[in-house]
Amino acid sequence: MQKIIFHFLFVYSLFEFIHVVVPFIVRSNSPLVSNTHLSTADLIQQDGYEVESHDIITEDGYVITIQRIPGKYDSIPVLMLHGFCADSEIWIMNGKNHSLPYILADTGFDVWLGNVRGNSYGKSHIYLSPSDPAFWNFSIHELGMYDLPRIILYINELTRQQVIIIGYSMGASMGLIMNANRHDMDYAVRLMIYFGPPIFMNTAVISSNRLIHQFNHIKPLLDSIGIYVWPLGSDFIKYLAKNRCPSNNLTMKICTEIILSNFGYDHTHVSHSTLEMLINHITDTTSTMVMNHFVQWMGSGYFRQYDYGILRNIIKYKRIIPPDYDLIGIKIPTAIFCGKSDAYVSLQACYQLYNLLPNKAGLFKVDDDKFSHLHFGLAENAHDLVYKKLLNDLILPLSKN
């Protein structure tokens, strides 16, 4: 156990060294891009689109802000869900001409950008504070069971229409958790579209990382010293990224490589300006339980509820092993997009998931050998390889019905 803890702390310390020390060694006069501290709504407005912000309250008390690019009256609402350690800003990192929310808005859809508890747009609660450990007592399960249904119902109530949902990475995990457990939501959703859904993760390239599997053992140590927030989205890391990763120098390269190494190293189709945006809007906060939930899926190969340990599992689930999510019982039409070089979701895992779904709407393998997990939201060629198919084969036909 001591060896595992030492290994984790060593790698984490190395990460901090790269972020803190190297920028002081290699100085640069290059300015950061001007939109460093702008919110999602600010960025959308800056890009010339009308935008609204809406606050929703989940049934367990979290206050979450979501953004809307309103369409014309009676246009179909499309809700977009971000991935792990992110927020709604990730969807508009690719600029006015390449970002999917703008493409959908220009096509005539009513676009909604979701957020979840724990990120920058979900740091409020009706009685808990983010400084309270209880605030961070959630896994991916709660995101799918409480946050997503409440957002959908809010959109339903406002628009009187069924919602099309696009879930990217963890956004797909949330969607499938809701689909499997909340059949009261079936009437509210017209179609689910998932980009790189991390469900059966034991075959993913990232699952071969021994350090990741050790997190399941390190989590109790973090709890014992009062660390409940996954650190990569902390204010400290954001400060380092925004102030020590100036463009066109070694530090910018180091920062981008650290980020991109988590998704697959190839970033052929990600522009320099998009990388700058990504650095300036570096990963957001979530709970250590969310991270651990992913690690549990990687280790087990099963898509199941959070494993609290034998004793707490017996109390909570009345069984030793947490229950699996019932994918076979999902009724909503579901489409999946998979990348050939996705470090988080293998093609094998995509086929495994799709074969279990009873209401299939299409399995799309992106026609690019280098297309990775990151590319779904940030690649310049995502428009031609993914978004056109999404529009022409899935969404536009619904708008004609």
DSSP string, 254-289: HHHHHHHTTT-S--TTS-HHHHHHHHHT-----BHH
DSSP string, 232-250: GGSHHHHHHHHHH--SSSH
Exposure string of 310-346, with b = 16+ CB inside 10 Å and e = fewer, is eeebeeebeeeebeebebeebebbbbbbbbebbbbbb
d(CA 279, CA 243): 10
Cβ atoms within 10 Å of 288's Cβ, excluding its own: 19
343 DSSP 8-state letter: S
> One of 147, 284, 342, 368 is an active-site residue; which one?
342
Decide: 233 and 85 in contact? Cβ < 8 Å: yes
Parallel, antiparallel, or unpaired for β 77-81 and 163-168?
parallel
d(CA 23, CA 19): 7
Amino acid identity at 104: L
223 as an active site residue: the answer is no
Q: Cα 162 to the chain's mean position, in Å?
A: 23
> One of 82, 98, 373, 375 is an active-site residue; which one?
373
Q: Backbone phi, then psi, for 203, in 5-degree steps?
A: -95, 0
207 as an active site residue: the answer is no
> One of 169, 173, 247, 372 is an active-site residue; which one?
169
Helix (H) or strand (E) holding 345: none
342 as an active site residue: the answer is yes
Residues with a known catalytic role: 169, 342, 373
